Amino acid sequence: MSDRPSVWAPLVECVELFVGGERHLMDRDERGWWTAAIDLAPGTDYGFVLDDGSPIPGPRSPWQPDGVNGLSRTLHHEAFDWTDAGFTAPALADAVIYEMHVGTFTPDGTFDSAIDRLADLADLGITHLELMPVAEFSGDRGWGYDGVHLYAPHHAYGGPDALKRLVDAAHGRGLAVLLDVVYNHLGPEGNHLRSYGPYFTSKYATPWGDAVNFDDAGSHEVRRFVVENALMWMRDYHFDGLRLDAVHAIFDQSAVHILEEMAIATRELAAEVGRRLVLTAESDLNDPRLTRPIEEGGYGLDAVWADDVHHALHVALTGEEAGYYADFSDADALARAISDPFMYAGHYSAVRDRLHGRPPGDLPGDHFVVALQNHDQVGNRALGDRLAHLVSPGRVRIGAALLLTMPYVPLILAGAEWAASSPFRYFTGHASLELARAVSEGRREEFSGFGWEPADVPDPQNPDTFEVSKLNWSERRREPYAGVLSWYRDLLALRAATPALRDADRSAVEVTHDAEEGWILVRRGPISMAANLGAEPVTVQVDGVRRLAWPPELQTDAGRVHLPPDAVIVLERPG
């Protein structure tokens, strides 16, 4: 929003600026942009009146202090006093990403209260924070994927200045910050974009209805709206990169795909501001094109989430094989996943009932973000139960050791580092009673399909569902949490100290395993880790000096280690 308010509304007959209780006529140019002949000071509340309707918030509102349907408030990004000059994010090959939901990260659930925990994260060995979406969504609580004001940090988290304080403080601690952004759909409540112009198209169907219009009439302005939004977070809020939500639901047949356009614009901004900026994406496509360089016909993103690796890990650790996990029940799946991010690379997937994916070729490991669990895999369980609530302490540690010795970029969901007792449930705070009821009922119905009694499925709209999902930071000082936290800290320290563990060359990883006995041995340079996921004790040949072990009393003996079920050892060969 420049001083002189302007707005794109190509199909509207008359647009007026609403400010201070008055309407001001706006002038339309030939491209469908309307401009008011009036300057607005920072902090001024405004809206637009379309064709004599009621005032509604602006498409690029930078701040919605009163929620999704309130007036917008102007903002001068230049006014913030940044203290992070000189900070540059580490490369993804060296990154350990920490995914957090602002609302449940601390008791207060605000940007400012999150600042108090940055020291803990730096101490743990985290390099990158990743905030789940913060763009204004309906209500005071929610995961954030229902955002409708893509330019406005959520009012309940503290709004624009508080977000800047968080990013600035993170940089002060040496932590980079990524932001999760949603360009595949808008939330069901407070979406005023439809009134302004052709932001959506019926050419493609998404799980949330009409797709965002990236290639139909008017798409040039929609693309600009989205690309400039991406750039705004990195330029005006100093984010070090983005995580693009569900890009498989972004449909674009243009000769320049919107993801490629975004990658080019990001590259240009990085050159301009002299910082490292990255684009990562959630993708269900198993398509190497997303991160292949533009010069080689790719879209030029920096990394994609590789959920296949999660699925293989999850099945190996939990034995669960329901739903989409059925595709990963093969005994060799885990061993393959350690160096192959796409388990489905042109193969038939029974769950999808079609061929899926394409081999990643020589794309390096730092093009893939991998987690033991992210918000989806926890939150999309009926009770939001974490991995640590499903398996033994040994298997929690095996999972962490596997994750942090894989050649990928590891992502840790906030709380996983101490096996937090809090679940991470699906919660919403929609104001519309009709929508609220639909969400509550939909959730119950979804899980009744998996044999759940309706009464046992937490109601997303119930404030308690949000409250119980908050992390309890005090528990991490006592057992069994403190032990898990040490395990993570030690693994991350080892990773930081060992270049071979940050080597993105996937072919440098050696995996040996015995599917029948259930043990697996992973070697990367001087580091090796052996774990027993089977039901019986096993003896595995290893070399090197014990660095970490669970149970702690494990010892090697003449190049062998005896591993009880759920045991794991990490060794280092002297250099």
CB of 218 to a second copy, least distance (A): 6
CB of 490 to a second copy, least distance (A): 38
The active-site residue out of 216, 282, 327, 566 is: 282
The active-site residue out of 136, 245, 366, 566 is: 245
339-355 exposure pattern, b = at least 16 Cβ within 10 A, e = fewer: bbbbbbbeeebeeeeee
Task: Classify 367 as helix, strand or coil.
Answer: helix
> Which residues of the chain form contacts with a second copy (CB under 8 A)?
202-205, 215-220, 223, 248, 251, 253-256, 285-289, 292, 296-298, 345-346, 348, 352-358
CB of 510 to a second copy, least distance (A): 27
Q: H/E element holding 448? A: helix 433-448
Single-letter amino acid, residue 36: A
Whole-angstrom distance, CA of residue 228 vs CA of residue 212? 15
Whole-angstrom distance, CA of residue 18 vs CA of residue 217? 28
Name the DSSP class of 69.
Answer: T
CB of 216 to a second copy, least distance (A): 7
Active site residue 245: yes
| Shorter beta-carbon distance to a second copy: residue 203 or 573 | 203
The β-bridge partners of 540 are 561
What are residue 424's phi and psi, to 5 degrees? -125, 100
Whole-angstrom distance, CA of residue 47 vs CA of residue 63? 12
Active site residue 282: yes
CB of 323 to a second copy, least distance (A): 15
CB of 286 to a second copy, least distance (A): 6
Q: Please check whether residue 197 is in contact with residue 221, taking contact to mean a CB–CB distance below 8 angstroms.
A: yes
Whole-angstrom distance, CA of residue 377 vs CA of residue 193? 30
| Shorter beta-carbon distance to a second copy: residue 206 or 448 | 206
Single-letter amino acid, residue 468: V
Angle at 409 between CA 404 and CA 410, to 5 degrees: 45
Q: Is the Cα torsion angle 236, 237, 238, 242 positive or negative in sign?
A: negative
Task: Classify 36 as helix, strand or coil.
Answer: strand
> What's the maximum distance between 2 C-alpha atoms anywhere in the chain?
85
| Shorter beta-carbon distance to a second copy: residue 223 or 375 | 223
Q: Please check whether residue 472 is in contact with residue 422, taking contact to mean a CB–CB distance below 8 angstroms.
A: yes
| Shorter beta-carbon distance to a second copy: residue 45 or 340 | 340
| Shorter beta-carbon distance to a second copy: residue 177 or 309 | 309
| Shorter beta-carbon distance to a second copy: residue 250 or 530 | 250
Active-site residue numbers?
245, 282
